[in-house]
Amino acid sequence: MNEALADFDALIKINPRYAPGYVNRGAVRQLNGDLSGAIADFDKAIAINPSLAQAYNNRGAIRLGLGDMEGAIRDLDRAVGISPRLTAAYNDRGIAKTEQGRLDEAISDFNKAIETDSAYALAYLNRGMALLLKGETAEADKDFGRCLEINPRLKQLLEARKKQVAQSTRRNRKSK
């Protein structure tokens, strides 16, 4: 990873107006856990070229991970506005909306992700979670089954998320 980072540093030094260089260096920084450095690179890429969907998508994914749902949704809205077939952006925006309790809107985003890539297993997993939160267990189970057909390695993640939903549902019932 450090080699890749050094290569992108050199590229940016040669051509500091090359926005994809910042997007790529930001992605490497993100993988290395340098989230503030990654966001700074995505910000720079956007300042140079505001029509780079991947920069908005990547920054939105970081904001999602940091719990900034509004910021994530703003970035992901821009990403899909620029590139309407950016599957990951619909999926991540759906996750943010699920976190906000906007389940119907989240399901709509997961539907769009599946429409753009019917083999995107995480969209089925996440739509299933939103359906489960709505109490639509049979439909959720269909999505979970499809998710695992596409990618059986997601079984542990699926089980962990189902457990989180069950715990959350129990807590909500107790607080009422």
Burial code (b: 16+ CB inside 10 Å, e: under 16) for 151-168 equals: beebeeebeebbeebeee
The pair of three-digit structure tokens given for residue 124, joined into one six-digit string: 């089925």
What residue ranges define each of the domains in the chain, with the CATH number in brackets? Answer: 51-175 (1.25.40.10)
pLDDT tens for the 176 residues of the chain, in order = 789 989 999 999 999 999 999 999 999 999 999 999 999 999 999 999 999 999 999 999 999 999 999 999 999 999 999 999 999 999 999 999 999 999 999 999 999 999 999 999 999 999 999 999 999 999 999 999 999 999 999 999 999 999 988 887 777 677 66
Instruction: Quote the pTM value.
Output: 0.91
